[in-house]
């Protein structure tokens, strides 16, 4: 049976989500909503979706849906997630799930009380090269990981398409570092401690554009370093570079999606490039492929009744890292995440 969804927020990133939904079998976005009429009509025309609303409550009252895909920015997430839960609908919510931990916890509680699934659209761990790193570790290729580095350093102009990123008091950890911290958790296991330093290099923006974070994962350690102030000869946006040292070998994911695996059996060079989907465009194709992957995962979870990998409950752990990073940067002290 066809799964029916309604999407709220027809802005910049929702275009990727709508392309991905159109490419996934067995699911259809039957209605869309944006309070900006021009954006609503443009997305409706582009994707051939006739049922259009400027008010989310009206959409949920009028349509028969199985789930809602919320593609708005963080301040609107809680009222929209709670609205969907009141209607007994499954919910996908974009990252950052919330700015305040209390709002994130309330959304998780509301969906649990309503008995509806909730997935945070935390797509970076679904990138093909990141999945490849995790697979190699699971296969025992490098033994037990004891050190990781997850590095996103770029000078790409993200502000032209997402002007709100230049305006907030917080920037890189909340918007991008949140993905990198989630990747660190995905590869190394949950974090037990965190220390962070931040800098603002670009004077034209309000928030921090550089963050350097030291994580403990039990006995293992990792470094998450992010920058939008880094001018390189070849602009790597939006690649995350990865280093993992294990007891019997190493993994390196380098510029150009080159994966080098060294272990007792020798050294292998692999091409971990993402597929360029028919609707995708470089350099965004890595992110776009992961959008299709996470949305396919959601459909699988709805059909099987399994909890999504990045459920609301799971994402609280990533959000606690974001919260701890800002606290550590302002106090200069490390934060114990075991409590
Ligand atoms: P945007 O401002 O371009 O789009 C948001 C849209 O939501 C706007 O058109 C706005 O009118 C609409 N909207 C807001 N509140 C609404 C409401 N209550 N009802 C109906 N419509 C409403 O923002 P964006 O750049 O598309 O970002 C959206 C979210 O996606 C952000 O949280 C951002 O962090 C996230 N994002 C994620 C990725 C990723 O890879 N996962 C990449 C980029 C952006
Ligand atoms: O993925 C994101 O959340 C985006 C970007 C890659 C530009 O940081 O906002």
Cα separation, 315 vs 24, in Å, equals: 24
* Ligand 1 contact via 53 beta carbon (within 6 Å): no
Report pLDDT digits (tens) over 188-199.
999 999 999 999
**Percentage above 70 pLDDT, the chain:** 100
Instruction: Tell me if 39 CB under 6 Å of ligand 1.
Output: yes
pLDDT tens-place string over residues 68-114? 999 999 999 999 999 999 999 999 999 999 999 999 999 999 999 99
Alpha-carbon torsion angle 206, 212, 214, 215, nearest 10 = 60
Banded model confidence at residue 339, pLDDT cuts 50, 70, 90: confident
Distance 72 CA to ligand 1 centre (A): 3
Compute the distance from residue 158 Cα to the ligand 2 centre, in Å: 8
**pLDDT reported for residue 334:** 98
Mean pLDDT of 310-325: 98
Task: Report pLDDT digits (tens) over 285-301.
Answer: 999 999 999 999 999 99
Check pLDDT > 90 for residue 143.
Answer: yes
Ligand 2 binding pocket (C-beta < 6 A) is: 158, 162, 175-176, 179, 238
Lowest-pLDDT choice from 81-85, 207-211, 301-305, 335-339:
335-339
Q: How confident is the model at residue 150 (pLDDT cuts 50, 70, 90)?
A: very high
CB 154 within 8 A of CB 237: yes
Strand-pair partners of 118: 91
The pLDDT, as a whole number, for residue 311 is 98
Structure tokens at 331: 């106090």
Residue 194 CB neighbours (<10 A): 23
309 Cβ inside 6 Å of ligand 1:
no
What are the structural domain ranges in the chain?
A: 3-116, 125-280+318-336
* pLDDT, tens digit (0-9, with 9 covering 90-100), for 252-290: 999 999 999 999 999 999 999 999 999 999 999 999 999
CATH, domain range 3-116: 3.40.50.720
DSSP category for residue 24: S
Residue 242 C-beta-side C-alpha neighbours within 13 Å? 35
Q: In this structure, are residues 147 and 220 in contact, taking their beta carbons and an 8 Å threshold?
A: yes
Report the C-alpha gap between 117 and 227 in whole angstroms.
Answer: 34
5-49: per-residue pLDDT in tens?
999 999 999 999 999 999 999 999 999 999 999 999 999 999 999
H runs (alpha helix) in the chain: 14-23, 37-47, 56-62, 77-86, 101-114, 128-138, 172, 178-188, 285-304, 312-331
**Is the per-residue pLDDT at 187 higher than 80?**
yes
Angle (CA) 326-255-206 rounded to 5° is: 30
Give the C-alpha separation, 2 to 119, whole Å.
Answer: 19
| 56 close to 71: Cβ distance less than 8 angstroms | no
> Quick one: which H or E segment has residue 239?
none
CA distance 310 to 293: 12
Task: Find out whether 263 and 141 touch, Cβ atoms under 8 Å.
Answer: yes
| Mean per-residue pLDDT over the chain, rounded | 98
Residue nearest to atom 10 of ligand 1 (CA): 9
Domain 125-280+318-336: which CATH number of 3.30.360.10, 3.40.50.2300, 3.40.50.720, 3.50.50.60: 3.30.360.10
In ligand 1, the atom with minimum distance to the C-alpha of 161 is 25
Q: What is the pLDDT of residue 249?
A: 98
CB-based burial, 215-225: b 16+ in 10 Å, e otherwise: bbbeebbbebb
């Amino acid at each position: 049976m066809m799964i029916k969804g309604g999407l709220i927020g027809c802005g910049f990133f929702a275009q990727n989500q709508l392309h991905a939904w159109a490419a996934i079998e067995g699911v259809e976005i039957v209605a869309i909503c944006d309070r900006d009429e021009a954006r609503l009509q443009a997305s409706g025309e582009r994707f051939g979706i006739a049922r259009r609303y400027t008010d989310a409550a009206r959409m949920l009252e009028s349509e028969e849906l199985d789930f809602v895909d919320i593609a708005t920015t963080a301040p609107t997430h809680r009222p929209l997630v709670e609205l969907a839960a009141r209607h007994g609908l499954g919910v996908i919510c974009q990252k950052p799930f919330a700015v305040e931990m209390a709002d994130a916890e309330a959304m998780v509680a509301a969906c649990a009380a309503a008995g509806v699934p909730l997935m945070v659209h935390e797509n970076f761990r679904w990138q093909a090269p990141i999945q490849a790193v995790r697979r190699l570790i699971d296969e025992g290729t490098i033994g037990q990981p004891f050190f990781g580095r997850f590095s996103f350093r770029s000078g790409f102009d993200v502000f032209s398409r997402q002007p709100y990123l230049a305006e907030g008091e917080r920037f890189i950890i909340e918007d991008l570092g949140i993905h990198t911290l989630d990747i660190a958790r995905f590869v190394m296991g949950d974090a037990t401690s965190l220390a962070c330093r931040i800098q603002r290099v670009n004077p034209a923006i309000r928030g921090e554009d550089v963050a350097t974070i030291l994580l403990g994962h039990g006995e293992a350690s990792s470094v998450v370093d992010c920058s939008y102030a880094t001018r390189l000869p070849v602009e790597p946006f939006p690649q995350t570079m990865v280093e993992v040292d294990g007891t019997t070998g190493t993994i390196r994911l380098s510029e150009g999606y080159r994966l080098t695996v060294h272990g007792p059996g020798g050294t292998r060079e692999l091409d971990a490039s993402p597929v360029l989907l028919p609707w995708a465009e470089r350099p965004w194709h890595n992110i776009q492929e992961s959008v299709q992957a996470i949305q396919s995962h959601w459909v699988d979870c709805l059909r099987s009744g399994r909890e999504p990998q990045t459920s609301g409950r799971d994402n609280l752990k990533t959000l606690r890292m974001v919260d701890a990073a800002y606290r550590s940067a302002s106090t200069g002290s490390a934060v114990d995440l075991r409590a």
